[in-house]
Structure 1
Amino acid sequence: MNSLPYGYHVRANGVRLHLMHYAGNGPRLLLLPGITSPAITWGFVGARLARHFDVHILDFRGRGLSYSEPGMVATLDAMAADVLGLLEAQEWSSVTLLGHSMGARVAIRAAARDAERIGELLLIDPPVSGPGRRPYPYPLSWYIDSIRLAIQGTTAEALRPFAPTWTEEQLRLRAEWLHTCNEDAITQAHLGFHDDDIHSDLPRLRTPGLLMAAGRGDVMRPEDLAEFRTLAPGLAQCVAAGTGHMIPWDDEKEFFRLLGDFLRVDLLDR
């Protein structure tokens, strides 16, 4: 099997969706990134997971090489419909969905609406903001300002104030791809963090899986984990104690250790 990743496009839910494929011999895993993370920026995770899974990483609409245009619709409902449409178009079943941040919220909404093709959920630090709840801790300006820098042409060093813990390689990749994030899409997603009631989906989840929270990101707090435990008892829980919201960037080894422990596979470099 070709070990090199490659990209491809699928027409689903009426739009063009781009994915990166990290081929593996195991069960299929669809990775859903966060609000300003094109698929390629998750390549280091896809390559590691491909030891045990056949990994596909989605460029959400308005990001990377997927459909994007001014004034586009890029709400939580639209993105969840894209995921379900993709599974149908590809005739995939029993897929593991791994979602980070916004991608985790999309995975929850998709599984709550139609779990028929979804075998397992791996939810990484989903924002728990929503109507009547505390706000998401990262302001919209943090995203928009960095995107506008990237559109003008920026360097890894210029982006360091936005992500001071990241490596030079991680920042270079972000500087290369951040310009592909559509400002309208990012704005809608950020507003959705506060307007969409993701908690109403949790009691409807019938898909088992894992909820991983960052210990220092302030996106999920102990009381949020307790609420998830009540509303979605089918999700096991773990905490990456020393990491911020971008768990695999902050502590790659701990991320793979916790994920591997749950999946009962070895994801660590020895």
Structure 2
Amino acid sequence: MSALPYGYHVRANGVRLHLLRYGGSGPTMLLLPGITSPAITWGFVAQRLARHYDVHVLDFRGRGLSQSGPGLDASLDAMAADVIALLEAQGWQDTWVLGHSMGARVAIRAAAQQAQRMGRLLLIDPPVTGPGRRSYPAPLSWYVDSIRLATQGTDADGLRAFSPTWTEEQLRLRAEWLHTCDEAAIVQAYNGFHQDDIHADLPRLRTPGLLMAAGRGGVILPEDLAEIARLAPGLVQCTADNAGHMIPWDDEEGFFALLGQYLGCSFDTV
């Protein structure tokens, strides 16, 4: 397993962004987590990715150790601008961008606006909600209630009801870091799931990539995959049949098997 070399900060798009860097050799990979997932919670994924990539995991604004505070713009456009500015500030070229859930939506918006520095998109179960579309399956209260509990101080047992299938280690890490997710930023991002039209960005994608759907997540349905295939034919599609929305948490080996098939490399633990 790769060690964590360091965490670091970058000033980009007028805010301070914090990242964790895993691994060394190979193409640069920027990992964009979901709505309430600070960078450290993706460490178990980043460690395995770091066998083949130089992996950097972003704390989105309003989360983890990145800039937060009252009045912070946590919209999809602001986060996409952060990613574009980060790539420019770091001088990264042909970057592989892996985004999960909200992070995948941010990757889509950023790539549609400015794809010059992106080499490949790896989109993991992005919400396909938007104006005039069905609601996101998880209610806002799920996020707000768990954040408030974590802010007061809780442990793995306190969060178990929110994520009953997670391991003790996963719950402990979430209990430690969830309080860093600013409630106002999370509410704005969640509302953006329903207000931002990500489908309008899909035909503008020129970056090839992978779209991985969760077979048991209820976020992307078969009819959504068919629509996306028409809008973005450059995305190869696959489905993690045995996983819910948090694919690596539910089926880590299945996740890496599918990813390895697309990337042409192995992430086996042996």
Match of 2:206 in 1: 206
Q: Secondary structure of 2:161's partner?
A: helix
Aligned to 2:174: 174
1:76 maps onto 2:76 in alignment: yes
Question: What pairs up with 1:52-63 in 2 under 5 angstroms?
Answer: 52-63=52-63
TM-score, scaled relative to structure 1: 0.99
Number of matched pairs: 269
Cα deviation, 1:102-143, whole Å, max 9, x if unaligned, reads 000000000000000000000000000000000000111000
- Secondary structure, in 3 states, of the residue corresponding to 1:162? coil
Counterpart of 1:42 in structure 2 is 42
Instruction: Give CA-to-partner distance per residue, 1:49-85, whole Å, 9 cap, x none.
Output: 0000000000000000000002211000000000000
Deviates more, 1:198-207 or 1:69-78: 69-78
Structure 1 gap segments, 5+ residues each: none
State TM-score, norm by structure 2: 0.99
Determine the structure 2 residue equivalent to 1:11.
11
Deviations 1:178-228 (A, max 9, x none): 000001110000000000000000000000000000001000000000011
Cα RMSD over matched residues?
0.8
Superposition deviation, residue 269 in structure 1 = 1.2
Aligned partner of 1:133 in structure 2 is 133
In the aligned structure 2, how far is the partner of 1:202 from the partner of 1:210?
Answer: 13
Alpha-carbon distance in structure 1 between the residues aligned to 2:71 and 2:102: 20
Provide the rounded CA distance (Å) in 1 between the counterparts of 2:93 and 2:136: 33
The C-alpha deviation readout for 1:29-52, integer Å capped at 9, x for no partner, is 000000000000000000000000
SS in 1 for 2:160: helix
Percent identical among aligned pairs is: 74
Give 3-state SS (helix, strand or coil) of 1:163's partner.
Answer: coil
* Counterpart AA for 2:175: A
How far apart are residue 5 of structure 1 and its match?
3.4
1:1-270 to structure 2, matched below 5 A, reads 3-270=3-270
- Matched residue type, 2:59: D
CA distance in 2, matches of 1:87, 1:211: 22
Q: Which runs of 4+ in 1 moved over 6 A?
A: none
- Contact 2:146–2:159 (Cα < 8 Å) also in 1: yes
Residues 17 and 66 in structure 2, CA contact (< 8 A), matched pair in contact too? yes
- Structure 2, unpaired ranges of 5+: none
Distance 1:245 1:24 in 2: 29
User: Which SS does the other structure have where 1:216 is aligned?
Assistant: coil
Distance in 2 (alpha carbons) for counterparts of 1:200 and 1:44: 33
1:24 Cα deviation after fit? 2.0
User: Counterpart of 2:129 in structure 1: which amino acid?
Assistant: S
Letter aligned with residue 191 of structure 1: N
How many Å separate the matches in 1 of 2:199 and 2:170?
32
- Counterpart CA distance in 2 for 1:4 and 1:73 is 30
- What displacement does 1:6 show? 1.4
For residues 235 and 57 of structure 1, what CA distance do their matches in structure 2 show? Answer: 22
Matched AA of 1:113: Q
- Kept in 1, the 8 Å contact 2:4–2:20? The answer is no
